[in-house]
């Protein structure tokens, strides 16, 4: 998991211009359909000729087309829009740009509707609708994540530096937690999933073979960019490069395709 820089919102979720702000307020005024479900406007607003919404495209741009949690490479059509604070619990953050995160299906399922215990009973709203709806807190990401939910939440890769909370162990294919936030995150996404470790092992062995064969750093970096899992791949590359320099690696590595 790596740090992802949060970029500016798409126009439809911009709180700073009158037209977009008023339109967004109208989204909250008509929040649910006849079945009581929140309208998934993150999937429908401003679709291009390929049927991709401007929100989804902006999230893909922000994450370099990778899942913000595991790093898997994503296609725009299969990316899932995760609400860091789940929309089912915090409906008046459903269209909050800072609350939206690009995710793969597996990570979105793993995260599910996780809510920090410290926020369970809080009514949180965006500031643009704070004069209309009752609330306990106006959404202030820094305050919520560093003060109220500091020790009982998941890492938000667009806000936190994940390396302050987690350290990846490339030898044994798991994340070691440095903080309570790291511990909760690792347990939720990574350490309990056998298939994740198996995937990482395949990636590790493949990169090991590239290193053994003396493939150039440039080609390995190109492979990593295409493969996804950039953070994990770079950790494996550094690990196997060191193993080779120390004479603990040879050319008889098991061949592995991923």
pLDDT in tens, the chain (258 residues): 999 999 999 999 999 999 999 999 999 999 999 999 999 999 999 998 888 999 999 999 999 999 999 999 987 678 999 999 999 999 999 999 999 999 999 999 999 999 999 999 999 999 999 999 999 999 999 999 999 999 999 999 999 999 999 999 999 888 999 999 999 999 999 876 677 888 889 999 999 999 999 999 888 888 888 878 899 999 999 999 999 998 888 644 454 454
Residues 59 and 145 in one domain: yes
The last residue of one of the domains, among 91, 122, 150, is 150
In-domain check, residue 169? no
Q: Which two tokens stand for residue 5?
A: 């820089």
Residues 141 and 236 in one domain: no
The last residue of one of the domains, among 150, 171, 202, is 150
pTM, full prediction:
0.90
Residues 32 and 144 in one domain: yes
In-domain check, residue 51? yes
What Rg value do the Cα atoms of the chain yield, rounded? Answer: 21
In-domain check, residue 133? yes
Long-range contact list for 55-63, CB < 8 A, 24+ apart?
Answer: 55/10, 55/12, 55/13, 55/81, 55/100, 56/81, 56/102, 57/10, 58/7, 58/9, 58/10, 59/100, 59/101, 59/102, 60/102, 61/7, 62/4, 62/5, 62/6, 62/7, 62/102, 62/158, 63/4, 63/102
Note down the domain range covering 240.
194-245
In-domain check, residue 84? yes
Residues 203 and 143 in one domain: no
Residues 24 and 100 in one domain: yes
Cβ atoms of 92 and 129 within 8 Å: the answer is: yes
Residues 27 and 128 in one domain: yes
Q: Which two tokens stand for residue 110?
A: 């793993």
Residues 17 and 145 in one domain: yes
Residues 34 and 135 in one domain: yes
């Amino acid at each position: 998991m790596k740090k992802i820089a949060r970029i500016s919102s798409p126009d439809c979720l911009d709180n700073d211009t009158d037209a977009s702000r008023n339109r967004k307020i109208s989204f909250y005024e008509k929040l649910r359909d006849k079945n009581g479900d929140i309208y998934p406007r993150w999937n429908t607003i401003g679709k291009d000729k390929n049927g991709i919404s401007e929100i989804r495209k902006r999230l893909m741009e922000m994450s370099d087309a990778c899942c913000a949690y595991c790093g898997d490479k994503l296609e725009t059509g299969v990316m899932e829009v995760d609400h860091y604070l789940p929309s089912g619990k915090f409906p008046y953050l459903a269209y909050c740009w800072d609350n939206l995160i690009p995710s793969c299906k597996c990570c979105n399922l793993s995260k599910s509707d996780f809510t920090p215990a410290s926020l369970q009973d809080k009514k949180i709203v965006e500031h643009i609708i704070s004069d209309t709806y009752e609330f306990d807190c106006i959404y202030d990401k820094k305050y919520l994540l560093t003060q109220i939910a500091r020790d009982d939440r998941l890492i938000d890769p667009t806000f936190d530096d994940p390396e302050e909370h987690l350290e990846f162990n490339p030898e044994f294919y798991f994340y070691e937690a440095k903080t309570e936030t790291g511990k909760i995150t690792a347990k939720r996404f990574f350490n309990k999933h056998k298939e994740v470790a198996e995937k990482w092992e395949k990636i590790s062995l493949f990169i090991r073979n590239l290193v053994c064969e003396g493939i150039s750093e440039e080609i390995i970096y190109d492979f990593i960019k295409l493969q996804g899992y950039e953070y994990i791949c770079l950790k494996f590359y550094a690990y196997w490069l060191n193993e080779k320099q120390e004479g603990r690696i040879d050319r008889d590595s098991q061949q592995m395709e991923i």
